Amino acid sequence: MKTSNFHFTGDINVKTMQRQSGIFIGDRNNAVGWSAHGKDNSVIGSIGGTSNYLFHNILILNDPDYIDTPIDDRDIHFSFENYGEEEHTTNLDLESLNVNTMYQNSSVFVGKGHITGVDGNEKANYSQGGLFGDHNHLLNNVNLNNDQDVVDAIMNDQDIKIANINKG
């Protein structure tokens, strides 16, 4: 016996989403083997919201690495789908969903979901960093980021990801 009642009447409001973020809404959500790897140099970063002021800033980012962010990601993904009648009852009433900030590897799950294998390795240099919200003021700042590594952010992520998904 399978009964699903999913009722979504409102809006989805998201202000900021960064790498490897997701919003999953529904009776069945399947995501297997996510990967996100990288290196990010930002002098200011990301600024969200409205009416943000940046005045007279001196932002310097110096990142002369000899070897920077070598990534070796040899994932093995297994996904098993089990077909058959699954007994469950789902009753979900949702008017709206509001998300202010989702950083790396952040997710919002509404409903039944099978989310496996989320990977997110990152090396980031932000001279200012993220600024989220409304009516923020940055005045007369001096930001300096100097990253003088010889070998920087070695990522060796060799995991095995197994997912067992019931399909009814």
pLDDT tens digit string along 1-51? 566 677 777 788 887 787 778 888 777 777 777 777 778 888 877 777 778
What is the structure's pLDDT at 1?
A: 56
* Averaged pLDDT, 44-69: 81
SS percent in the chain: helix, strand, coil, step 5: 0, 55, 45
Return d(Cα 39, Cα 64) in angstroms, integer: 13
Instruction: Find out whether 107 and 20 touch, Cβ atoms under 8 Å.
Output: no
DSSP secondary structure letter of residue 131:
B
CB burial of residue 93 (10 Å; 0-12, 13-18, 19+) = exposed
